[in-house]
């Protein structure tokens, strides 16, 4: 309740400033706009052949993109206007090709599809290497084929965020989830599965940022303009439709509902600068500036890199922005 009140107050300051009503009543108009491919009904299917050293199997990857089928080991590059990347990626380590399948797949729902995100424990026979892969959908692009650097720091191989200048008041989506009650999870930080303490949740967050580049150094800085954040920590067996996650504008740290994980620089977020180099996006504060970029991240795990509870699953569908205007 307090979060909703706080978000509404900050939204009013951000969009219309000080509003004085001297006559009559204020009428509010509310509408939604779908995100590109947010209905989850179009998917590109890619068939990646693993190296013979790994058995030469054909692995299937799915990308949220116009319907197409690709039978070739090549990097995925989204078309103009498609904001989506995902954790189902093609990788090439020391000349050995493989693919991280099953973490992101379309699943039938009604007359169309939804997106299923699932935590998968992946295993590569060569070197007996394990990797815990969380199902994730995000705005940005994975820089395929992923190399050995991505194995050690996977976020460095993702160009996070896409241009965005709108002022939505919420993210709306349909979702359901299967989340374990266990207070333990698996880490593969040492290339083998090990159990550690912790409860894994699914997560959905939106960061609206005002970014700029230092022309001398090429570094990218950002101020956080808007924040929406929700963790899903229990099983939701039936679809929850038209669920809204409010976007709070400006500095949210004084909100009674604020959590540290909603704060600045909570992940190793990278992007490509004007020189074509991947650099870290450093959030330097909060503001009510105009947004320039949006980072949206939807995942079956919130535990961090190479940490998750195997099998936790999040289904999402019908992603929409919610807008309001006063008339």
| Residue 241: φ, ψ to 5° | -95, 150
Q: What is the mean pLDDT of residues 213-237?
A: 97
* Nearest alpha carbon to residue 102 among 130, 82, 132, 76: 132
Residues 62/64/68/72 CA torsion (nearest 10 deg): -40
Q: Is the pLDDT of residue 22 over 60?
A: no
pLDDT at 327: 65
CATH C-level class of 2-38+110-119+128-140+150-326: mainly beta
pLDDT band at 10 (very low <50, low <70, confident <90, very high): low
Stated as kind and residue range, the H or E segment containing 151 is: helix 148-152
Q: Is the pLDDT of residue 94 over 70?
A: yes
Q: Is the pLDDT of residue 3 over 90?
A: no
Q: What is the mean pLDDT of residues 109-136?
A: 88
pLDDT band at 17 (very low <50, low <70, confident <90, very high): very low
Tell me the pTM.
Answer: 0.90
Question: From the CB of residue 303, how many other CB atoms can be counted at a distance below 10 Å?
Answer: 22
- Give 51's DSSP letter: P
Question: From the CB of residue 163, how many other CB atoms can be counted at a distance below 10 Å?
Answer: 11
Question: From the CB of residue 77, how many other CB atoms can be counted at a distance below 10 Å?
Answer: 10
Is it true that the peptide bond before 88 is cis, omega within 30 degrees of 0? no
Q: Across-strand partners of 323?
A: 31
């Amino acid at each position: 309740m307090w979060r909703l009140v706080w978000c509404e107050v900050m939204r009013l300051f951000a969009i219309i400033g000080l509003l004085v009503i001297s006559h009559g009543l204020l009428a509010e108009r509310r509408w939604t706009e779908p995100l590109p491919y947010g209905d989850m009904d179009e998917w590109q299917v890619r068939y990646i052949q693993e190296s013979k050293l790994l058995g030469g199997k054909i692995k299937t990857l799915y990308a949220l993109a116009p319907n197409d089928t690709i039978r070739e080991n090549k990097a995925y590059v989204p078309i103009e206007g498609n904001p989506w990347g995902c954790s189902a990626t093609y990788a090439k380590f020391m000349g050995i090709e493989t693919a991280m399948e099953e973490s992101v797949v379309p699943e039938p729902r009604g007359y169309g599809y939804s997106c299923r995100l699932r935590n998968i424990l992946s295993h590569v026979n060569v070197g007996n290497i394990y990797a815990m892969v969380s199902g994730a959908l995000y705005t940005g692009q994975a820089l395929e084929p992923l190399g050995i650097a991505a194995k050690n720091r996977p976020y460095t191989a993702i160009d996070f965020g896409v241009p965005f200048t709108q002022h939505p008041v919420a993210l709306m989506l349909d979702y359901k989830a299967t989340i374990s009650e266990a207070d333990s999870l698996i880490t593969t930080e040492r290339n083998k599965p090990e159990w550690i303490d912790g409860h894994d949740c699914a997560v959905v967050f939106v960061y609206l940022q005002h970014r700029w580049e230092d022309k001398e150094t090429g570094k990218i800085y950002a101020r956080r303009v808007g924040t929406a954040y929700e963790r899903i920590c229990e099983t939701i067996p039936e679809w929850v439709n038209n669920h809204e996650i409010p976007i709070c504008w400006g500095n949210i740290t004084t909100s009674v509902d604020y959590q540290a994980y909603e704060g600045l620089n909570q992940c190793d977020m990278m992007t490509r600068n004007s020189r074509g180099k991947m650099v870290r996006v450093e959030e330097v504060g909060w503001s009510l500036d105009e947004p320039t970029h949006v980072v949206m991240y939807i995942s079956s795990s919130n535990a961090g890199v190479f940490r998750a509870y195997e099998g936790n699953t999040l289904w999402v569908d019908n992603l929409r922005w919610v807008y309001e205007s006063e008339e």
